[in-house]
Amino acid sequence: MSDTPTSHRTDWFHKAGWGVLTHYLTEATTTADEWNRRVDAFDVPGLAGQLEATGTKYYYITIGQNSGHYCSPNATYDSIVGIKPSRCSRRDLVAEIAEAIEPKGIRMMVYLPSGAPNSEPQAIERLEWTNGPARNAEFQLKWQAVIAEWSERWGRRIWGWWFDGCYRPNTMYRTPDAPNFETFAAAARAGNPDNIVAFNTGVINPIIPVTPYEDYTAGEMNNPYEPVCRGRWIDGEQYHMLSFLGPWWGQGPPRYTDQQVIVPTRGFVENGGVLTWDAPITDGGLIPRPFVDQLAALTKGLGDLAR
């Protein structure tokens, strides 16, 4: 673990200590109309109130994933992919949640895969995505343009990105020629130069950094008891882990007692790390009550560790 400058993009993230992520997703068979009706019914004030009640200081939502549906409009994506009607929602759910939680002292962050939606053949073709060990330079240039549009629109309403599926970093991103990790991170920071960025290469223990162009470790873990946090920094990055409270990502009921959630979180926070917990979310945009209660119990259990 190495020293870093006294001022770092992740200072606020470190101070927060822990936060919440929810997978707000749908199936590939969902129509554009069905998706818009679902997103339109999302209870933003209700979710904001729940997050405030848990005591969390940051919140991630998935913009989209493999189905090709996204909870925010994106003209660049639509112009490239050409699917009509658009699978991007009319409502900018990310912007609305960010606006609702900011006055409560909660920062908005977003999750996005690093590849094309693998259940949408037209998107795969038009984005020029190839599965497997391919350079995918044409795809990356298009995907960076999509990311930059979102980042520029949201500006300082969002404060970080967690990019999933960077499973072939040596083939796709570790190159001196653009596109690469540097240009990927720059797209995410197009609207906010202080956005913190992490690239996930899969479940790897011990947690390790991926590139100097990220700010914190992605830290995906199925078992939150496996990693040991020995300090805030690892090779100049904020040490961070992401795991789930339920039996799997986005599922319930809780798999741990309140105390079993407090223990690993305390181990991270008191040693300078950050831990993000995934919780389920309903189609209507609310976290099930058992998870809200458990997260509130976590805040209470960590009361003496407030930074």
pLDDT tens by residue, 226-262: 999 999 999 999 999 999 999 999 999 999 999 999 9
Expressed as residue numbers, the domain containing 140 is 11-302
Domain containing residue 20: CATH number = 3.20.20.80
Contact of 241 with 276, CB cutoff 8 Å: yes
For residue 3, being part of any structural domain is answered with no
pLDDT grade for 269, boundaries at 50, 70 and 90: very high
Given CA atoms 142, 144, 149, 150 in this order, what sign does their dihedral have?
Answer: positive
The rounded mean pLDDT for the chain is: 96
For residue 128, being part of any structural domain is answered with yes
For residue 5, being part of any structural domain is answered with no
For residue 29, being part of any structural domain is answered with yes
In 40-89, DSSP assigns E strands to 58-62
pLDDT grade for 124, boundaries at 50, 70 and 90: very high
pLDDT, residue 4, reads: 59
pLDDT, residue 240, reads: 98
pLDDT, residue 1, reads: 44
For residue 1, being part of any structural domain is answered with no
pLDDT grade for 6, boundaries at 50, 70 and 90: low
Q: 10 Å Cβ neighbour count for 111? A: 23
pLDDT grade for 3, boundaries at 50, 70 and 90: low
For residue 275, being part of any structural domain is answered with yes
At residue 71's C-alpha, the angle toward residues 70 and 77, to 5°, is 40
> Considering its fold, how many domains does the chain have in total?
1
What are residue 28's phi and psi, to 5 degrees? -65, -25
Q: What percent of the chain has pLDDT over 70?
A: 97
For residue 63, being part of any structural domain is answered with yes
For residue 4, being part of any structural domain is answered with no
